[in-house]
């Protein structure tokens, strides 16, 4: 789907910071940043990606931190104290 279609269907830009153990150095952590449009609060796209990670990749997951933001929001209105006329 195109981005605007996703946004109209309440998808939001979702960012996940994934910490995982390095396969050859299990005492070290590595960071991976994942970003995609997803639906909160269940995050089906992220869940599918994490399932793929656990089944396919060698690095064991340590933790996942998720943030999401609506990109299309109602406009903000602010009133001004003055009015200017341009000729």
Q: What pLDDT does 84 receive?
A: 65
What is the C-alpha separation between 42 and 60, in angstroms, rounded?
22
- For the CA atoms of 19, 52, 58, 61, what is the dihedral angle to 10 degrees? 30
pLDDT tens, 3-42? 888 888 888 999 999 999 999 999 999 999 999 999 999 9
pLDDT (0 to 100) of residue 4: 80
Is the pLDDT higher at 84 or at 7?
7
Residue 87 has pLDDT above 70, yes or no: no
Contact 14, 50 (CB under 8 A): no
CA atoms in the 13 A half-sphere facing the CB of 31? 5
pLDDT digits (tens, 9 = 90+) for 36-68: 999 999 999 999 999 999 999 999 999 999 998
């Amino acid at each position: 789907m195109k981005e605007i279609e996703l946004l109209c269907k309440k998808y939001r830009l979702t960012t996940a910071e994934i910490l995982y153990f390095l396969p050859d150095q299990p005492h070290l952590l590595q960071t991976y940043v994942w970003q995609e449009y997803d639906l909160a609060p269940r995050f089906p796209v992220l869940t599918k990606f994490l399932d793929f990670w656990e089944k396919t990749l060698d690095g064991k997951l340590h933790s996942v931190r998720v943030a999401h933001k609506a990109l299309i929001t109602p406009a903000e209105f602010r009133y001004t104290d003055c009015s200017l006329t341009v000729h």
